[in-house]
Amino acid sequence: MKKFSYLLVLCTLVLLGANSCTPKDEVASPQPDRLLIGTWQENATRHFVRFLSADEDPMVGEYRFGYEWDEDDDVHPEDLIWHGNGWFKWKVETDTVSHKSVIRLTEIQLMDNGGAELPDTYIITTLNSTTFEYAPEDNLKFTHCFTKAD
């Protein structure tokens, strides 16, 4: 009878322990698109990029809008024509490749005169509340580094 009691207690502890563990992968982390929203300054330059939320400018399909300017070229946000030169559409997608998460940023530059929409795809290598780094998908050695500006 004692063996049965010990076995019952042991089984109960094993079951309780198994139910109380939560894999770290299930812990919610901020969505990459939410972390991108805001203004970023490229390191050691006066080049800025602003990713807009859907509340600031309505989305088109799965794309949001953003714009960039370079104060070294005497270009400021107020100089840009809405959805013209300096503007882009963007989206973020997360894929799993070889058990690793890969975050892809796709940008489509907009032009004042319309024209063909050619997407550029980048791999985001670092993204948190203060730092954003990415590289072209076809040249991961050419990294752009940004710091949150707002």
Over residues 25-59, the pLDDT tens digits come to: 333 356 888 999 999 999 989 999 999 998 888 88
- Give a yes or no: residue 4 inside a domain: no
Contact 125, 142 (CB under 8 A): no
Q: How many domains does the chain have?
A: 1
- Give a yes or no: residue 12 inside a domain: no
- Give a yes or no: residue 65 inside a domain: yes
- Give a yes or no: residue 9 inside a domain: no
**pLDDT tens digit sequence for 111-143:** 887 777 889 999 999 999 999 999 999 998 899
Q: Find the domain containing 46 and state its range.
A: 32-148
- Give a yes or no: residue 79 inside a domain: yes
pLDDT at residue 94 tops 60: yes
Alpha-carbon separation of residue 82 from 31, 63, 90 (angstroms): 27, 16, 15
**pLDDT tens digit sequence for 9-26:** 444 433 334 333 333 333
Q: What is the pLDDT of residue 100?
A: 82
Q: What is the pLDDT of residue 8?
A: 42
Q: Is the pTM of this model over 0.85?
A: no
43: domain CATH number is: 2.40.128
